[in-house]
Amino acid sequence: MHKNRPVVWITGASSGIGEALAEQYARQQARLVLSARSVDKLEALATRLDCESLVLPMDVTDFGSFAGKVEAVLAHFGQIDILINNAGVSQRGWAEACGFAVDQRLMDVNFFGPVALSRAVLPHMRARKQGVIAVTSSVMGKVQTPRRTAYAASKHAIQGWFDCLRCEVWKDGIQVTLLLPGYVHTHLSYHALDADGQPHGKMDRIQANGMPAERCARKMIRAIEKGKEEVIIAGLQERLAAWLKRFTPRLYSAIAKRIPVE
Ligand code: NDP
């Protein structure tokens, strides 16, 4: 009965891209696991969505809790078809001002969280010989700008870990998809950490002018369905940045030093 209704587990489902992913998958009548720390927002989303869902609050830095979370999903739905490691936090500040605590926090949320949760889900997917592990990386997983040292590091690390993982798990029928948005209109800049490790609390202009989250989510789902290994979902400016970095890195470096990022 449930054959065509995949179980999709989305982290960071309480806001922005994750919330939009949940809305799109709900239209496909997927069965959803909605995770983030804001229980009230997740519950409101689950009530709004016209599909079967499980609200599973979690902090993606509470690595020791993940085995229990996987068990809870399996007890409820019996399977996990797609895991989308989407929760993340950005940065607004110069490297020296931000300090090591911000470096560690961003690596914990953006890198070790997806790694540890994917590790917890992998044995189940391997046993079934199927499954998709997707990760919301970023164009910042490919390029550099000022004021994003820790954020770019965490997203570059994602690229490396999951690219290598793919080389190991494809034989077991497991797909690994890296999703690289450019600027998307979400609350990312509100929640981004400033030099004091506090939320920036502002909607940056470039964020407000970003792609609508619904459009980004639609493209992400299409990439997953098509079995893509990696996809850049971005406007011309960010796609050009990725292209220049790849093919003319010295030119990109000269430009990047002068990018007036907020
Ligand atoms: P939002 O700030 O709107 O959403 C971030 C989500 O991550 C929230 O649901 C938040 O939920 C969750 N989250 C943050 N920290 C934790 C944590 N410790 N444990 C569990 N959940 C957490 O931003 P976006 O929707 O834009 O961000 C989603 C992803 O997209 C991120 O990985 C981001 O890096 C990436 N991205 C975004 C871009 C953009 O321009 N918006 C561009 C490129 C990549 P809660 O606070 O309830 O825990």
Residue 174, SS3 per DSSP: strand
Asked if residue 262 is part of any domain, the answer here is no
The enclosing domain of 58 has a CATH number of 3.40.50.720
Element (H, E) at 136: strand 131-136
Looking at the CA of residue 58, tell me the nearest atom of ligand 1. 20
Q: Is residue 251 part of a domain?
A: no
Span from the CA of 132 to the centroid of ligand 1 (angstroms): 20
Reference 173, options 113, 141, 132; nearest CA is: 132
What residue has token string 């789902």? 221
Kindly report the pTM of this predicted structure.
0.97
Q: What's residue 3's pLDDT?
A: 59
Separation of CA 11 and ligand 1 centre (Å): 8
Catalytic option among 25, 151, 183, 252: 151
Greater pLDDT, 1 or 127: 127
In a mutational test of the pocket of ligand 1, which residue from 38, 39, 43, 90 has the highest number of ligand atoms less than 8 Å from its CB? 90
Residue 101 pLDDT exceeds 60:
yes
In a domain, 240, yes or no: no
The answer to whether 151 is a known catalytic residue is yes
In this structure, the residue with its CA closest to atom 23 of ligand 1 is: 188
Question: Which residue's entry shows tokens 């820790």?
Answer: 150
Q: Residue 64 has what DSSP assignment?
A: G
**How far does residue 88's CA lie from ligand 1's centre (Å)?**
4
Burial of residue 12, with CB atoms counted within 10 A of its CB: 0-12 exposed, 13-18 middle, 19 or more buried: buried
Say if 254 falls within a structural domain: no
Q: Which of 132, 9, 133 is nearest to 70 (CA)?
A: 9
2 falls within a domain: no
| The pLDDT of residue 1 | 45
Q: Which of 138, 140, 103, 147 is nearest to 262 (CA)?
A: 147
Tokens of 189: 């800049």
Question: CA 90, CA 143: separation in Å to the nearest integer?
Answer: 15
Using only C-alpha atoms, the chain has a radius of gyration, in whole angstroms, of 18
For a ligand 1 pocket test, name from 42, 69, 104, 186 the mutation site with the most ligand atoms within 8 angstroms of its C-beta.
186
pLDDT tens track for 180-203: 999 999 999 999 999 889 999 999
Domain span at 187: 7-235
Domains in the chain: how many in total? 1
Count, residues in the chain:
262
Residue 244 lies in a domain: no
Residue 258 maps to a domain? no
Please report whether residue 249 resides in a domain: no
